[in-house]
């Protein structure tokens, strides 16, 4: 006998619908799963058999074949367990096949018959379309973020009784309210650092990547940690995109709620390339750059990261996505983040601000990891000196708090949205020409820089976008003037110390 149940599988950060077909016939007892299952999916036969026995169902000695369609799509994880068990129960006549109609079953089975949560419940529920998702009780809150009609169960026995109408469906837990935590580090805590604070505001307003160079104790990490607080809340669409990525990575299960605040990810410099970029041999999971999408990726001690890891960021920085390809599977993962890098000028950290103990060869080897094309993608680059002792220990007035600066950032972002982009850095080609035409004096400044070889063509486009952001923050409209172009260049020229054109 043949029976079918619907489900979904996860690939990258997207769910894909799957049709689980169970066929039971006479012959030598066997349980075969076909349709490109991975190892954990293939092991479902043992979990399903034990769960059925524990739930007081009959496991017949017969030849069982389970097909996972479409067969050209790789199936990963244990999320198809419940659908396999129900299809098998229907194929052996223990439940009516019609009770499975209109539903999609997602979840892992424990050997005791319990339903366990799986990673990526949010995109999995999106993938089932008009079918009503049935999920483990532990994942009901996360699933209801996108499917208010979700149903849930705690055990396989409870699920079967509810499907047959013999017991009521358990109540699903309501999702947590959207996460809008205002408990973020305040920019007012930063003493001094007037130029760095301004660069932070420009980076937040225009989505411009920021590089900070300076000795230890200058406040680079402190500044970077306050950048997400300057960004406006995510829109409904962006919050769903960010939450989908975090769900696929398994970090949304503890507190299921739409993420309204831009995330901050700060991987250690010992993180592997797969952990940073995403992927894996079989299960393609999002990496740190995807988890930072919609927010900030902070790479502290930039000079300590392997060169290959840093150069892997070059393509995602331009395209906003990372395309992971393996022999049998591939996925496109989001990677539209604001990059903030912080590094010392040399291995000992003293640089020009103290008695540097590094040889010229040591400094060159340290900076060789930061390639010119990577550094050219930083729109803003500045030295961060340690603040004077009078500003740290004295009674200096604090700077503007985060809330005040965020209001200006939101106003600048609104101007960018009217131009058809979320931030000025996304302006390209003709769109940038229309939004940021050059005045005569500004054109002369850029031409001189290009002719002297101190600015690349990509860098010139970035300078125009930064100058446009400066004008938006100042409430000025019209063609770019020389003053704002000079300020944009001054916020970039210190990157020359690391071997890249200004």
Mean pLDDT (whole number) for 416-421:
93
Beta-strand relationship, 296-299 and 338-343: parallel
* Domains in the chain with CATH codes: 2-163 (3.30.230.10), 187-498 (3.40.50.300)
User: How does residue 272 score in pLDDT terms, banded at 50, 70 and 90?
Assistant: very high
Q: Report the C-alpha gap between 428 and 420 in whole angstroms.
A: 11
Q: Report the C-alpha gap between 501 and 375 in whole angstroms.
A: 9
The pLDDT, as a whole number, for residue 373 is 84
The pLDDT, as a whole number, for residue 283 is 76
Mean pLDDT (whole number) for 404-427:
93
Please give the structure tokens belonging to residue 188. Answer: 């007012």
Question: For residue 64, which phi and psi values (nearest 5 degrees)?
Answer: -110, 130
- On the 0-12 / 13-18 / 19+ scale of CB atoms within 10 A, 233 is middle
Q: Report the C-alpha gap between 462 and 427 in whole angstroms.
A: 9
Q: Which regions of 344-423 does DSSP assign to beta strands (E)?
A: 380-383
Poorest-confidence range of 14-18, 139-143, 255-259, 271-275?
255-259
Q: Report the C-alpha gap between 442 and 373 in whole angstroms.
A: 25
- On the 0-12 / 13-18 / 19+ scale of CB atoms within 10 A, 478 is exposed
The pLDDT, as a whole number, for residue 345 is 82
The pLDDT, as a whole number, for residue 257 is 79
- First-to-last alpha carbon distance for the chain, in angstroms, is 72
502 pLDDT more than 50: no
Poorest-confidence range of 102-116, 291-305, 320-334?
320-334
Q: What is the pLDDT of residues 49-96, one digit of tens each?
A: 999 999 999 988 889 999 999 998 999 989 999 999 999 999 999 999
The pLDDT, as a whole number, for residue 499 is 45
Please give the structure tokens belonging to residue 231. Answer: 């960004």
Q: What is the pLDDT of residues 303-355, one digit of tens each?
A: 889 989 999 999 999 889 998 887 777 888 999 999 999 988 888 877 665 56
Mean pLDDT (whole number) for 217-225:
89
Q: Report the C-alpha gap between 270 and 299 in whole angstroms.
A: 11
The pLDDT, as a whole number, for residue 26 is 87
Q: Is the separation of the CB atoms in 16 and 9 below 8 Å?
A: yes
- pTM value is 0.88
Q: Report the C-alpha gap between 351 and 82 in whole angstroms.
A: 60
293 pLDDT more than 90: yes
Q: What is the pLDDT of residues 132-176, one digit of tens each?
A: 999 999 999 899 999 999 999 999 999 999 999 999 998 877 666
Q: What mean pLDDT is reported for the chain?
A: 88
The pLDDT, as a whole number, for residue 496 is 52
Pick the more confident residue, 333 or 455.
333
Percent of the chain residues past pLDDT 90, beyond the cut: 61
Q: Is the separation of the CB atoms in 179 and 258 below 8 Å?
A: yes
Q: What is the pLDDT of residues 169-204, one digit of tens each?
A: 988 776 666 555 556 788 888 887 888 999 999 999
- On the 0-12 / 13-18 / 19+ scale of CB atoms within 10 A, 196 is buried
Q: Report the C-alpha gap between 211 and 343 in whole angstroms.
A: 8
501 pLDDT more than 50: no
Pick the more confident residue, 376 or 198.
198
- On the 0-12 / 13-18 / 19+ scale of CB atoms within 10 A, 234 is buried
- Give, as one character, the DSSP assignment of residue 168: P
Mean pLDDT (whole number) for 251-256:
72
């Amino acid at each position: 006998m043949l029976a079918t149940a619907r489900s979904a599988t996860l690939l990258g950060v997207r769910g894909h619908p799957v049709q689980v077909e169970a066929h039971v016939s006479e012959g030598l007892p066997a349980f075969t799963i076909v349709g490109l299952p991975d190892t954990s999916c293939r092991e479902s036969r043992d979990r399903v058999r034990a769960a059925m026995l524990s739930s007081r169902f009959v496991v017949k000695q017969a030849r069982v074949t389970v097909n996972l369609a479409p067969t050209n799509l790789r199936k990963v994880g244990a999320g198809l367990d419940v659908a396999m068990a129900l299809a098998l129960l229907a194929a052996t006549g223990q439940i009516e096949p019609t009770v499975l109609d209109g539903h999609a079953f997602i979840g892992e089975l424990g050997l005791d018959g319990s339903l366990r949560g799986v990673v990526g419940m949010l995109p999995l529920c999106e993938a089932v379309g008009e079918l009503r998702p049935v999920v483990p009780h532990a994942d009901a809150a996360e699933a209801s973020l996108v499917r208010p009609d979700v149903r849930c169960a705690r055990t396989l026995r409870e699920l079967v009784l509810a499907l047959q109408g013999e017991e009521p469906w358990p109540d699903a837990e309501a999702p947590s309210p959207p996460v809008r935590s205002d408990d973020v580090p305040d920019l007012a805590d930063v003493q001094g650092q007037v130029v760095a604070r301004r660069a932070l505001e420009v980076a937040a307003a225009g989505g411009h990547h920021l590089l900070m160079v300076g000795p230890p104790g200058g406040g680079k990490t402190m500044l970077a940690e306050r950048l997400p607080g300057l960004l406006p809340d995510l829109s409904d669409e962006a919050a769903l995109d960010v939450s989908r990525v975090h769900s696929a990575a398994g970090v949304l299960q503890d507190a299921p709620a739409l993420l309204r605040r831009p995330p901050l990810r700060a991987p250690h410099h010992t993180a592997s390339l797969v952990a940073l970029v995403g992927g894996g041999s079989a299960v393609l999971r999002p990496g740190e750059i995807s988890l930072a999408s919609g927010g900030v990726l902070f790479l502290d001690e930039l000079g300590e990261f392997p060169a290959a890891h840093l150069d892997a960021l070059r393509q995602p920085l331009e395209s906003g996505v990372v395309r992971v390809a393996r022999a049998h599977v591939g996925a496109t993962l989001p990677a539209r983040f604001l990059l903030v890098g912080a590094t010392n000028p040399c291995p000992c950290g003293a640089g020009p601000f103290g008695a540097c103990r590094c040889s010229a060869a040591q400094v060159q080897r340290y900076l060789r990891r930061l390639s010119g094309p990577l550094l050219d993608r930083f729109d803003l680059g500045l030295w961060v000196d340690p603040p004077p002792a009078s500003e740290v220990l004295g009674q200096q007035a604090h700077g503007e708090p985060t809330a005040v600066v965020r209001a200006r950032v939101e106003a600048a972002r609104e101007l960018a949205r009217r131009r058809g982009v979320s931030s000025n850095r996304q302006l390209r080609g003709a769109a940038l020409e229309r939004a940021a035409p050059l005045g005569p004096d500004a054109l002369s400044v850029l031409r001189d820089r290009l002719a002297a070889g101190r600015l690349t063509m990509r860098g010139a486009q970035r300078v125009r976008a930064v100058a446009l952001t400066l004008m938006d923050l100042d409430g000025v409209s019209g063609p770019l003037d020389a003053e704002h172009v000079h300020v944009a260049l001054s916020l970039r020229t210190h990157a020359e110390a690391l071997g890249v054109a200004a």
